[in-house]
């Protein structure tokens, strides 16, 4: 719910939009290299140079938490102090309510009397006993709120029950605040529920949890890393490739993951720790040095269409745990806003901006070239509606550590069937997966290798990457090894180009993947057919195609696959087509 009407965005004539579209069609018929200049042609009339950095302060609110003594008072106190803090800085913030807190008169009075007019009230989509019973459904939890996936989230309910839960919430919200909420967040909202909210109640923004394995029993792995995407109608975790099969609401990734370290924390286990912007974590969101390192990546490094982070905290952590971190972070946000480097806005406003600017999921990047641990580690993430990929530089290595393909036709396990138990799993299609395919002692990755005269392979370790943005949806990474061998890795919306740019005529290289023996059973590869690698994940077939070069099965070197360039160039098609 918007308490105050915002000033409208700049209106652009239809004629101008058409001209921009025609120009962009011509412009993108060409291929780019790292020496290309950034395009000034934008999306929906905006210049490419307008790549905003956006911060949403989102605080989500529970009424009670059985894990905490005196929880109702402590959780209410946390929200009171969150409001005081955002009012002190005059920050627009979003407060999302569970149903049990929504119907509490004390919270209603607090919001109506203390919340600044530039803030937003919306829905937090965890299911509670009062909510279920108001919808005429039997409650299955031991307490009035529990974290079990099949009880706390609509993945555990039938499609008909999901609609009843939405209708009851929306009706009550409108009774209290006079209109329906425009933003709905959750650790996860299934596709049926999300589409129903959009189509019947016209929500304009949603949010879900960062990528994680097993944290609190919830696994979200292989998705659009950070920023936001339009989800498939069959799977709300999967970015859609077409307008007709996408739910027309942007889903923003929450919590501000550490771009280098979150991905691999817990390798070799079935769970991960949390390294995020959340202000309760002493080694990350409560640590000023870490927050400055994180914001450097979000604010000052190449990101293509835009960059994004969610700040704020759930009230279950209580004010005593979050106060120090929030009061450290807010002056940093204020300073960056005054310098014109970030926009702080409500989730609703960011959702409207996204929908106005992008008709389909844009290409974005997260670039992190400084290392909080000062070990020389760096990473680049690239996302598009077709795939995500991540490069990793280590003290003694370099690899493509992650490629996951997106396919809107991969149906979620929970689309029409309720999940059971205290976990849920949402995953995409792995091509390279350094987390699942590694052990603590042996980390995998697709590495650049030089073929020696005796047939052995020697790893090429690239250093000192230079990252540029030749176009609105193209990211170029250029780097050399200690012998001066220079490579360019160019991420396009639908493919990855990897090229050797040196002049050594007898130089022979390839990309090679070696997976620990104990992890080989996790590989999805089924057949190698020259330029095509066929794979299957959870029964869903997909493929990786080399438009330039070939794909070979590993041999006596114990490598599991090789990608061999053609005239020093590999082009990996990532569209599953």
Answer whether residue 2 is part of any domain: no
Answer whether residue 7 is part of any domain: no
**Nearest 10 degrees: CA dihedral of 161, 163, 165, 168?**
-130
Give pLDDT, residue 274. Answer: 92
**Interatomic CA distance for residues 472 and 49, integer angstroms:** 9
pLDDT above 70 covers what percent of the chain? 91
Assigned token pair, 545: 């195609």
**Interatomic CA distance for residues 410 and 419, integer angstroms:** 17
Among 469, 471, 493, 305, CA closest to 386: 493
370-391 burial: b if 16+ Cβ within 10 Å, else e: ebbeeeebbbbbbbbbbbbbbb
- Domain range for 20: 14-29+38-51
- Averaged pLDDT, 273-282: 94
Do both 348 and 432 map to the same domain? no
C-alpha neighbours within 13 Å on the C-beta side of residue 360: 17
Give pLDDT, residue 559. Answer: 85
8 falls in which pLDDT band (50, 70, 90)?
Answer: very low
Give pLDDT, residue 9. Answer: 38
Residue 414, pLDDT above cutoff 70 = yes
Answer whether residue 1 is part of any domain: no
Residue 448: count of CB within 10 angstroms of its CB: 25
Do both 346 and 395 map to the same domain? no
Do both 409 and 533 map to the same domain? yes
Specify whether the CB–CB gap between 42 and 471 falls below 8 A. Answer: no
Per-residue DSSP letter, 182 = S
Lowest mean pLDDT among 39-43, 458-462, 487-491: 39-43
Q: Which helix (H) or strand (E) holds 327?
A: helix 319-338
Do both 87 and 219 map to the same domain? yes
Answer whether residue 160 is part of any domain: yes
Give pLDDT, residue 73. Answer: 95
Specify whether the CB–CB gap between 395 and 443 falls below 8 A. Answer: no
Answer whether residue 217 is part of any domain: yes
- Averaged pLDDT, 30-49: 41
- Averaged pLDDT, 546-574: 89
**Nearest 10 degrees: CA dihedral of 276, 277, 278, 284?**
70
Residue 40: phi and psi, rounded to 5, are -100, 5
**Interatomic CA distance for residues 171 and 419, integer angstroms:** 26
Among 232, 293, 263, 272, CA closest to 381: 263
- Averaged pLDDT, 264-283: 91
Do both 119 and 169 map to the same domain? yes
Number of domains in the chain: 3
Residue 25, pLDDT above cutoff 60 = no
Per-residue DSSP letter, 187 = S
Count of all residues that appear for the chain in the document: 577
Residue where the block lists tokens 């979200």 = 220
Higher pLDDT among residues 41 and 218, named by residue = 218
CATH number for the domain that contains residue 343: 3.20.20.510
312 falls in which pLDDT band (50, 70, 90)?
Answer: very high
557 falls in which pLDDT band (50, 70, 90)?
Answer: low
CATH number for the domain that contains residue 506: 2.70.98
Residue 2, pLDDT above cutoff 90 = no
Higher pLDDT among residues 190 and 14, named by residue = 190
Give pLDDT tens digits for 315-359. Answer: 999 999 999 999 999 999 999 999 999 999 999 999 999 999 999
pTM for the model stands at 0.89
Residue 38, pLDDT above cutoff 90 = no
Picking from 313, 339, 361, the residue at the C-terminal end of a domain is: 361
Residue 361, pLDDT above cutoff 60 = yes
Q: Which helix (H) or strand (E) holds 533?
A: strand 532-537
499 falls in which pLDDT band (50, 70, 90)?
Answer: very high
Do both 206 and 345 map to the same domain? yes
Give pLDDT tens digits for 144-156. Answer: 989 888 999 999 9
Give pLDDT, residue 124. Answer: 97
- Averaged pLDDT, 179-184: 97
**Interatomic CA distance for residues 259 and 561, integer angstroms:** 27
Assigned token pair, 398: 């370099």
Answer whether residue 3 is part of any domain: no
Residue where the block lists tokens 């030749």 = 470
**Interatomic CA distance for residues 102 and 172, integer angstroms:** 8
Give pLDDT, residue 528. Answer: 92
Do both 317 and 420 map to the same domain? no
Give pLDDT tens digits for 88-143. Answer: 999 999 999 999 999 999 999 999 999 999 999 999 999 999 999 999 999 998 99
Assigned token pair, 361: 């999921």
- Averaged pLDDT, 50-69: 93
Answer whether residue 318 is part of any domain: yes
Assigned token pair, 286: 């409560």
Picking from 329, 344, 361, the residue at the C-terminal end of a domain is: 361
Do both 374 and 290 map to the same domain? no
Specify whether the CB–CB gap between 235 and 540 falls below 8 A. Answer: no
Give pLDDT, residue 506. Answer: 84
Answer whether residue 156 is part of any domain: yes
Give pLDDT tens digits for 203-221. Answer: 999 999 999 998 888 999 9
pLDDT above 90 covers what percent of the chain? 81
**Interatomic CA distance for residues 530 and 317, integer angstroms:** 54
Among 379, 386, 340, CA closest to 363: 386
Give pLDDT, residue 291. Answer: 97
Instruction: Give alpha helix (H) positions in 118-264.
Output: 129-134, 149-152, 159-177, 191-201
Give pLDDT, residue 11. Answer: 35
Among 137, 128, 138, CA closest to 163: 137
Query: Which of 87-101, 265-279, 541-555 is modeled with the greatest confidence?
Result: 87-101
Give pLDDT, residue 217. Answer: 84
35 falls in which pLDDT band (50, 70, 90)?
Answer: low
Do both 526 and 378 map to the same domain? yes
Instruction: Using alpha carbons only, give the angle 556, 559, 561 rounded to the nearest 5 degrees.
Output: 115
- DSSP characters for 480-508? E-TT--EEEEEE-SSEEEEEE----TT--
Do both 413 and 313 map to the same domain? no
Give pLDDT, residue 33. Answer: 55
Alpha carbon of 445 to those of 404, 438, 449: distances in Å?
Answer: 13, 9, 12
Do both 280 and 426 map to the same domain? no
- Averaged pLDDT, 532-546: 95
Q: What's the chain's average pLDDT?
A: 90
HEC-encoded secondary structure of 121-148: EEEECCCCHHHHHHCCCCCCCCCCCCCC
Assigned token pair, 442: 């042996």
Do both 102 and 170 map to the same domain? yes
């Amino acid at each position: 719910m918007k308490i105050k009407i915002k000033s409208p965005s700049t209106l652009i004539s239809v004629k101008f939009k058409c001209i921009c579209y025609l120009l962009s069609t011509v412009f993108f018929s060409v291929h780019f290299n790292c020496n290309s200049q950034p395009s000034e042609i934008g999306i929906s009339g905006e210049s490419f140079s307008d790549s905003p950095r956006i911060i949403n302060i989102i605080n989500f609110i529970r009424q009670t938490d059985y894990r905490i003594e005196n929880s109702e008072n402590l959780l209410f106190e946390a929200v009171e102090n969150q409001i005081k803090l955002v009012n002190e800085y005059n920050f627009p913030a979003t407060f999302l309510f569970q149903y049990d807190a929504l119907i509490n008169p004390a919270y209603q009075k607090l919001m109506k009397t203390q919340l600044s007019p530039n803030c937003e009230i919306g829905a937090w989509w965890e299911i509670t006993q009062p909510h279920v019973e108001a919808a005429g459904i039997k409650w299955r939890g031991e307490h009035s709120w529990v974290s079990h996936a099949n009880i706390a989230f609509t993945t555990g309910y039938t499609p008909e029950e999901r609609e009843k839960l939405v209708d009851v919430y929306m009706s009550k919200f409108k009774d209290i605040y006079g209109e329906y909420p425009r933003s709905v967040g959750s650790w996860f909202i299934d596709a049926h529920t999300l589409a129903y909210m959009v189509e019947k109640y016209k929500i304009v923004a949603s949010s879900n949890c960062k990528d994680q394995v097993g944290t609190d029993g919830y696994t979200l792995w292989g998705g659009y890393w950070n920023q936001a995407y339009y989800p498939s109608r069959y799977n709300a975790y999967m970015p859609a490739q077409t307008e007709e099969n996408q739910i027309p609401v942007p889903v923003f990734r929450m919590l501000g993951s550490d771009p280098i370290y979150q991905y691999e924390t817990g390798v070799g286990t079935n769970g991960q720790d949390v390294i995020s912007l959340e202000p309760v974590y002493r080694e990350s969101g409560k640590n000023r040095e870490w927050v400055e390192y994180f914001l450097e990546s979000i604010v000052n490094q190449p990101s293509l269409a835009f960059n994004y982070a969610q700040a704020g905290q759930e009230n279950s952590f209580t004010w005593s745990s979050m106060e120090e971190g929030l009061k450290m972070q807010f002056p940093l946000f204020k300073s960056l806003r005054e310098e014109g480097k970030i926009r702080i806005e409500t989730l609703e406003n960011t959702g409207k901006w996204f929908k106005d600017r992008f008709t389909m999921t844009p290409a974005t990047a997260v670039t992190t070239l400084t290392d909080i641990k000062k070990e020389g580690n760096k990473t680049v993430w690239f996302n598009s509606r077709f795939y995500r990929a991540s490069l990793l530089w280590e003290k003694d290595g370099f690899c493509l550590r992650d490629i996951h393909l997106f396919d809107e036709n991969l149906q979620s396990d929970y689309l029409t069937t309720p999940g059971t138990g205290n976990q849920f799993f949402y995953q995409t299609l792995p091509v390279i997966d350094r987390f699942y395919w590694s052990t603590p002692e042996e980390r995998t990755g697709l590495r650049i290798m030089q073929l020696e005269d005796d047939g052995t392979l020697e790893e090429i370790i690239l250093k000192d990457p230079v990252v540029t943005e030749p176009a609105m949806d193209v990211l170029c990474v250029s780097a050399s090894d200690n012998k001066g061998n220079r490579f360019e890795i160019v991420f396009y919306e639908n493919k990855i180009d990897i090229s050797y740019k040196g002049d050594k005529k007898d130089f022979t290289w390839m990309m090679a993947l070696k997976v620990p023996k104990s992890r080989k059973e996790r590989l999805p590869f089924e057949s190698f057919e020259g330029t095509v690698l066929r794979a299957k994940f959870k029964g869903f077939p997909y493929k990786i195609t080399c438009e330039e070069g070939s794909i070979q099965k590993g041999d006596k070197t114990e490598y599991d696959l090789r990608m061999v360039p053609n005239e020093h160039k590999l082009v990996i098609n990532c569209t599953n087509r």
